[in-house]
């Protein structure tokens, strides 16, 4: 199986992004995470995956969270899924690379993408975060771009720029 992360030198530190078995379409994130782990089992990466990913845990305030925390290509990537109450299905991931926020967005099929790598999507937040590291190159750091009103980057809407018709 060829990893689906564009053949970037994946898993230098933490094994192959195990999206091979993940089918994001119409899956919940928990299902995807479960499949990710199952997939890791399937390709014999259990020790590696276990060393790199925190299993789902419970937080004091009652929110459930899935998380990852690893070093990939020398970058520290962390992610935590935050479910809030009844809107658990709309849980969001807070992801950072070297401490800087990576704004992850979703496709309608349930897959994930970031502003750093915006012309394809990935089955899991971890895979999307690793792909963002691949695209950052050796020197790059993320800029802190809050999501804008259109879901894109900077926080101001149309109407104030100089390229109007």
Q: Which two tokens stand for residue 113?
A: 């993408």
Q: How far is CA 8 from CA 35, 76, 146, in A?
A: 22, 17, 27
With binding defined as CB under 8 A, does residue 116 bind another protein? yes
How far apart are CB 57 and another protein at their closest, in Å?
A: 25
Judged by CB under 8 A, the residue of 11, 106, 126, 133 near another protein is 106
Q: Which residues of 94-115 are buried (b: 16+ CB within 10 A; e: fewer)?
A: bbbbeeeebbbebeeebbbbbb
Report the distance separating Cα 60 and Cα 39, nearest Å: 30
Instruction: Please tell me whether residue 24 adopts helix, strand or coil conformation.
Output: coil
Judged by CB under 8 A, the residue of 113, 126, 129, 133 near another protein is 113
Quick check: 39 and 19 in contact, CB under 8 A? yes
With binding defined as CB under 8 A, does residue 150 bind another protein? yes
Instruction: Please tell me whether residue 20 adopts helix, strand or coil conformation.
Output: helix
By beta-carbon proximity to another protein, the closer residue of 58 and 165 is 165
Stretch that binds another protein, among 34-42, 52-60, 62-70, 154-162 (CB under 8 A): 154-162
Quick check: 109 and 25 in contact, CB under 8 A? yes
Instruction: Please tell me whether residue 143 adopts helix, strand or coil conformation.
Output: coil
What one-character DSSP code corresponds to residue 149? T
With binding defined as CB under 8 A, does residue 165 bind another protein? yes
By beta-carbon proximity to another protein, the closer residue of 76 and 120 is 120
Stretch that binds another protein, among 42-50, 56-64, 69-77, 133-141 (CB under 8 A): 133-141
By beta-carbon proximity to another protein, the closer residue of 27 and 64 is 27
Judged by CB under 8 A, the residue of 43, 65, 88, 145 near another protein is 145
Binding site for another protein (CB under 8 A): 2, 4, 6-9, 19, 23-25, 105-111, 113, 115-123, 135-143, 145, 148-154, 156-159, 161-165
């Amino acid at each position: 199986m060829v990893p689906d992360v564009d053949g970037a030198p994946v898993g230098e530190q933490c094994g192959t992004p195990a999206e091979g078995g993940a089918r994001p379409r119409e899956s919940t994130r928990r299902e995807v995470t479960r499949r990710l782990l199952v997939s890791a089992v399937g390709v014999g990466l259990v020790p590696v995956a276990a060393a790199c990913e925190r299993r789902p845990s419970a937080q004091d305030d009652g929110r459930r969270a899935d998380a990852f925390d690893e070093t990939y290509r020398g970058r520290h990537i962390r992610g935590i899924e935050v479910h809030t109450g009844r809107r658990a299905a709309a849980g969001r991931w807070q992801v950072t690379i070297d401490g800087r926020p990576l704004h992850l967005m979703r496709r309608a099929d349930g897959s994930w993408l970031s502003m750093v790598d915006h012309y394809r999507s990935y089955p899991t937040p971890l895979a999307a975060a690793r792909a963002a590291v691949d695209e950052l190159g050796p020197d790059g750091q993320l800029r802190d771009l809050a999501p804008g009103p259109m879901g894109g980057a900077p926080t101001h809407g149309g109407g104030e720029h100089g390229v109007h018709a």
